[in-house]
Structure 1
Amino acid sequence: MTDDWKRQIDRLHAELVRRDDPAEWVVEADAVDASRRYPDLAFRGPVFGLAVLDPTDTERALEWRLLKPVTDATPQDARDTLNSHLWFKAKDDTDDPAVRRELLAAVARLEREPIDDLTVCGARYRIVRGDEFARTGRSGLEPPRPTDPEPADRAWGGRSDTPSPDRDFALVPGRETSPMVVAMKVALQGYAYSGARFPAAVREESERARTAYPEVVLLPVGFGVAERRRGCWQPRGALMPTPHEARRLLVDAMIEFWPQLYEFSAAERQRYVEAAEEFKAAGRANEVRVDDKRFQICRIERMVRIGPDGPEPPRRSDVDDYGPTKIHPTMDEDGTLHYDS
């Protein structure tokens, strides 16, 4: 760690003491404890989202902010989100034919080309690349911390109702107030893919990214379900904004989705229901076992690299499952939809 980073962490520590906020002290102490109990980082791989730099936003004209959570598995997933965003702006947000033409021209390009940076009506859109990781220790993946926020209503029915904290999140380095977060950033700035399991091109691009995008922004923490399988942890389901919603996702999967998807026998269904009910009754449990399977609620972190021109876009070595395609009906400049085109 350089002297400059040491001074910054010392300054943040002094500021934390000066603010005399017991809640912040508890959160910081929680982070220190987690770093000791879960000292290693396990990187899952890249995730993708959508950001915008909008000069019409007078308060944040120079800030890249997220329009889409950085959770997509491939760049094309995020490009499709941009396609839909612009199409619905053309449909619902303007009555000006010239503006609609410009928006629809951008949509047409996205239907044909894998574009990662696009300026439309003065706003600059970019597909953003991040890396997802979790802390690990001798006991496995880090579970939610006691200080991680929970929803006010921790019901088990219904769907997730907590909005993603990614939305409208500013990708601006240097706004951290926690010494432990800054220390994490120092460690992540030098991170690059290594080892024979990564192809040479992937390792080379990862090394170049450390120079081209030297800053790091940590995104809001998320929570997920992981299954211990063949000696390693594998994700099962989407990233959720709170620990309880990850627990609810696991319960719904055990009772409703997995029995249908995997065609459980009646006996298997019963065992999963009983395990889910015990898990619910425990309140804030973070682990459940069924037969020889082990599931855990884990704390997921993500980073985005930032360079002089903004957040890192997808790398050439990032893989897509499919290419650009037409998503929505054809629209005229007057807003008329044509479903047979």
Structure 2
Amino acid sequence: MTDDWKRQLDALHSGLVHRDDPAAWVTEADAVDASLRYPHIALRGPVFGIAVHDPAVGSGWRLLKSVVDGMPQQARDGLNSHLWFKAKDETDDPGVRRELLAAVTVLEQDPVNELEVLGVRYRVVRGDEFARSGEDGLEPPRPTDVEPLDLSWDVQLKAPSPDVDFGLDPHREDGLMAGAMKLSLRDFAYSGSRFPADVRADSERATAAHTEVVLLPVGFGVAERGERGWRPRGALMPTPHDARRMLYDAMAETWPLLYQFSEAKKAAYARAAEAFKAAGRADEARVGDRLFRICRIERMVRCGPDGPEPPRPWDQDEYGPTKMHPTMDEDGTLHYDD
């Protein structure tokens, strides 16, 4: 451990002691236990979102759109819609609307990763998604992970994303174990033959240009164990119970319909779904020889002197920019035949 690391960890420990917060100590103990049982990092890959820097709100960058998209273009599409609806619903000033729509036009034509609109900077930001793993596979939720107050299985609305308005501040005090994780990830770069040489080189350059790490709010997902390891089965959810409800709905309704299950297979999945639901806060479900697990998912964003890291040259898109909304005049009139 370098002297710099030791000084930073000592400062984090001192801050934790001075806080005299029993809940924080329990959370730290939980994190220590998890690090022992799940000591390895399983990297899933890059994810993308939108960050905003608005001098009228503060001096730092914050998240506008969750960092969950699999491609940069998906994040650009989200920014396109944000600016279009902002022009449609949030102003009556033709000049303001004109500038917002000019930015929309750019996003319809070019795969840009940053725009300045009305003095506000918008940037497509890149993160990496990973989970911890141990001898029994990926880490499930921890006892101290926050659950919704209402553990209903019937409500279809999920909890709001904790990403929105999250400040990308590398110097935030996240706790002792989280601080140690951030320090350990500062030099993390892609390695091994699974990554092409150009991708590895991009990753090495990123560690030099964006030396600080921000840990995003923890998420939860469903993974299935297969012959080659675990693979994700669904979107990232804000709480363990949201992920459980997603798995229940998938087994009971979505998968049988999507994959056209036979009646016998549909009945087997229905029984598994009801057993999973009846268990309350279970983190695994089995259907025949298939095992599904609720997993704890972590994400990081790199930051440099000018803010969060944008997409890298080798981050791929499966499609390009396109027109997503009707043409709008500066007075707010919509034209559906353009």
Check whether TM > 0.5: yes
Residue correspondence of structure 1 range 4-15 to structure 2 within 5 A: 4-15=4-15
Question: Alignment partner of 2:24: what SS?
Answer: helix
1:139 to 2:111 alignment: no
Partner of 2:244: 247
Partner of 1:24: 24
Partner of 2:286: 289
Q: CA–CA distance in 1 between the matches of 2:238 and 2:196?
A: 33
Which of 173, 178, 188 is 1:176 aligned to? 173
Which amino acid counterpart does residue 122 of structure 1 have in structure 2?
G
Q: CA–CA distance in 2 between the matches of 1:277 and 1:161?
A: 20
Which amino acid counterpart does residue 138 of structure 1 have in structure 2?
E
Partner of 2:148: 151
Partner of 1:270: 267
1:84 to 2:81 alignment: yes
Offset, 1:158: 2.2
181-190 or 124-133: which moved more? 181-190
Which of 230, 234, 249 is 2:231 aligned to? 234
Which amino acid counterpart does residue 331 of structure 1 have in structure 2?
M
Residue correspondence of structure 1 range 37-48 to structure 2 within 5 A: 37-48=37-48
Residue correspondence of structure 1 range 66-85 to structure 2 within 5 A: 66-85=63-82
Offset, 1:4: 2.0
1:33 to 2:19 alignment: no
Partner of 2:321: 324
1:161 to 2:158 alignment: yes
116-125 or 12-21: which moved more? 12-21
1:125 to 2:122 alignment: yes
The alignment of Structure 1 onto Structure 2 pairs a total of residues equal to 338
Q: CA–CA distance in 2 between the matches of 1:338 and 1:177?
A: 49
1:207 to 2:204 alignment: yes
Q: Map Cα deviations across residues 83-107 of structure 1 (whole Å, 9 max, x no partner).
A: 0111111111111111111111110
Q: CA–CA distance in 1 between the matches of 2:6 and 2:272?
A: 48
Offset, 1:52: 0.4
Q: Map Cα deviations across residues 107-160 of structure 1 (whole Å, 9 max, x no partner).
A: 001000001010001000000000000000001000000000000000001223
Q: CA–CA distance in 2 between the matches of 1:175 and 1:310?
A: 14
Offset, 1:18: 2.2
Offset, 1:298: 0.2
- TM-score normalised by the chain length of structure 2: 0.99
Q: Map Cα deviations across residues 269-316 of structure 1 (whole Å, 9 max, x no partner).
A: 111111111111111111111011110000000000001111000011
Which amino acid counterpart does residue 35 of structure 2 have in structure 1?
S
Offset, 1:226: 0.2
Q: CA–CA distance in 2 between the matches of 1:314 and 1:14?
A: 36
Amino-acid identity (%): 69
Q: CA–CA distance in 2 between the matches of 1:234 and 1:95?
A: 48
Q: CA–CA distance in 1 between the matches of 2:87 and 2:225?
A: 46
Question: Alignment partner of 2:15: what SS?
Answer: helix
Offset, 1:3: 1.2
1:198 to 2:214 alignment: no
1:106 to 2:73 alignment: no
Q: CA–CA distance in 2 between the matches of 1:126 and 1:313?
A: 7
1:50 to 2:50 alignment: yes
Offset, 1:177: 3.9
Q: CA–CA distance in 2 between the matches of 1:160 and 1:297?
A: 19
- TM-score normalised by the chain length of structure 1: 0.98
Question: Alignment partner of 1:157: what SS?
Answer: coil
Q: CA–CA distance in 2 between the matches of 1:102 and 1:16?
A: 47
Q: CA–CA distance in 2 between the matches of 1:16 and 1:215?
A: 21
Q: CA–CA distance in 1 between the matches of 2:149 and 2:126?
A: 32
Question: Alignment partner of 2:7: what SS?
Answer: helix
Over aligned residues, Cα RMSD in angstroms? Answer: 0.8
